[in-house]
Amino acid sequence: MNKFKVFLAGKKITLVVIDPADTKAVEKVMSFRNDPKLGCFIGRNFPFTAQRTVEDITGKDKVFLGIALGDEIIGFITLRRINLINGTGKLTVFLGEGNHRKGIGSEAVTLILWYAFNTLNLRKVNADVFAFNERSLRCFEKLGFRRQGVLEKEYFVDGQYHDDILLRIFKEEWLDYNATLD
């Protein structure tokens, strides 16, 4: 039984609403962001406090959801910079240690894309990934995202500058891709 409010349900996971008053859930999200092994994947340069985490969860023009496996939050996914006039948004997904290569990230992205294209009626979703994050690049490209550019030496992480790979998927591409899965 899931103790969180389910927003979208998949086969393995659910995307759940993070209540800013739920200190344990906020602390879990904060722990992902402050984890020295994992924070490099989201460009964490400053510590995330509880206040900063709540501000991010409740920010405008975004949907911030926990990725839950049963009663445990194992990551988060955000659709931010939602612009209903332009029909665009930017996707970020993050999984905690030990939850990779299980199809969880792909399922979370598929669920949020379904929501973005079928509920919000967005026409395009963008994402960006550090060049060293090969797992995320494979995940996005496997789901139909295409590279649209590179911001060279854009982010300073662990003492080095790294390229930022820009990705995008249009609604019609996603619909075509999913039709091939049926």
Burial class (CB in 10 A: 0-12, 13-18, 19+), 180: exposed
Q: Cβ(154)–Cβ(163) under 8 Å?
A: yes
Q: How confident is the model at residue 45 (pLDDT cuts 50, 70, 90)?
A: low
Residue 182: what pLDDT?
A: 52
Give the pLDDT confidence of 78-93 residue by residue, as tens digits. Answer: 999 999 999 999 999 9
105 — pLDDT class (breaks 50, 70, 90):
very high
Q: What is the pLDDT of residue 38?
A: 63
CA distance linking residue 178 with residue 59, whole number of Å = 30
Asked if 83 and 126 count as a contact pair (C-beta separation under 8 A), the reply is no
Inter-CA distances, 145 with 22, 33, 67, 109, 152, Å = 34, 25, 21, 11, 20
Out of 3-7, 13-17, 38-42, 47-51, least confident range: 38-42
Q: Residue 47: is its pLDDT beyond 90?
A: no
Which one has a higher pLDDT value, 14 or 3? 14
State yes or no: pLDDT of 1 exceeds 50.
no
Q: Can you read off the two tokens belonging to residue 51?
A: 């206040």
Q: How far apart are CA 122 and CA 87, in angstroms?
A: 4
106-136 pLDDT, tens digit per residue, is 999 999 999 999 999 999 999 999 898 898 9
pLDDT of residue 55: 86
Q: Which residue has the higher pLDDT, 175 or 47?
A: 175
pLDDT grade for 158, boundaries at 50, 70 and 90: confident
- Residue ranges of the domains in the chain? 5-128
CATH number, span 5-128? 3.40.630.30
